[in-house]
Amino acid sequence: MKRAGLLLLLAGVIAGWWMLRPTSWSESDLPTHTPDAIAGEKIFWAGGCASCHATPVNGRRARDADRLLLGGGMELDTPFGVFRMPNISPHVSDGIGDWSELDFVNAMQFGVSPSGLHYYPAFPYASYARMRTEEVMDLFAYIMQLEPVASERPDHALVFPWNLRSGIGLWKRLYLDPAPVIVLSTEDSVLQHGQALVEGAGHCGECHTPRNSLGGIDKSRWLVGAPNLEGRGGVPDITPVAEGFGDWSESDIVYYLETGFTPDFDAVGGSMVAVQENMAMLDAADREAIARYLKALPANQPAE
């Protein structure tokens, strides 16, 4: 009996290790692809990299050319604790200048650091997992040609039990899924492109979809709006709900993403300002694709 108990304990330890361990790719898993930094620039803006990783200037969000100085420093104060945005510039010691292409892909799509540690999902790799890996490789090529920024940043300050990184392995088992959120019943290439931008690089669901107590996105309520994780107000429903975003036409959405003005001539505000500025950097065809996808969604009940 004693031996059987030890075997059960050993089996439990192995099962726990398997459930919690980081999983990632090796070099042979990478697709054959010649990275394109020009294509990577579009992914940079679609992904909102500057919104989190550009170093604030005089305590304010970086603007214009300063958005390309990716020294980190922004903080996200959430119920889980304070997340501090790291330096992702090509600086060798303070940023990601010594990373390989494989390191970057594993971080972006598996949430695993070069040293094999789990990243917290405040880094929206659960959305980036839906990107084509070739796009991630293009993004790396673009970032690596930007200016290195010397600025070492402190680690996150999280409350128990969220400060235990090992538990993220279980979180990933539950919520890290590269499959599309919405199953499209059409071969419309524009709609498919919009889906890729919204569900993948644009990671719109990270803010506009409610989360459960473990911080996992409730995909059954995709984009119906959610509480602001920083505690100030809410994030709106962007499904075609009646008397709301559903009253906007595709051209209204396109114009809003380009200019920041709503159909009622109101102006974008809050954290959406940075998102809109990023979307304005995309091609018109990208904004049109995003609008078509959002209008094709089923209308849901707003989040309470």
Q: What is the DSSP letter of 161?
A: T
Residue 16 scores a pLDDT above 70: no
210 C-beta neighbours (distance < 10 Å), count: 20
- To the question of pTM greater than 0.85 for the whole model, the response is yes
CA distance to 147, 229, 245, 248, per residue, from 241 (Å) = 43, 23, 6, 10
The residue that leads in pLDDT, 243 or 101, is 101
Q: Do residues 273 and 209 both lie within one domain?
A: yes
Strand partners, 112: 118
Q: Do residues 215 and 126 both lie within one domain?
A: no
Q: Element (H or E) spanning 226, and its range?
A: strand 226-227
Range of the domain at 139: 24-175
- Measured torsion, CA atoms of residues 207, 212, 215, 217, in degrees rounded to the nearest 10: -50
Q: Do residues 207 and 288 both lie within one domain?
A: yes
Q: Do residues 147 and 251 both lie within one domain?
A: no
Domain assignment of residue 16, yes or no:
no
Q: Do residues 132 and 217 both lie within one domain?
A: no
Q: Which are the contacts of 183, defined by CB distance < 8 A and separation ≥ 6?
A: none
Domain count, the chain: 2
Residue 22 scores a pLDDT above 90: no
pLDDT digits (tens, 9 = 90+) for 124-180: 999 999 999 999 999 999 999 999 999 877 788 777 777 778 789 989 999 999 999
Strand partners, 235: 226
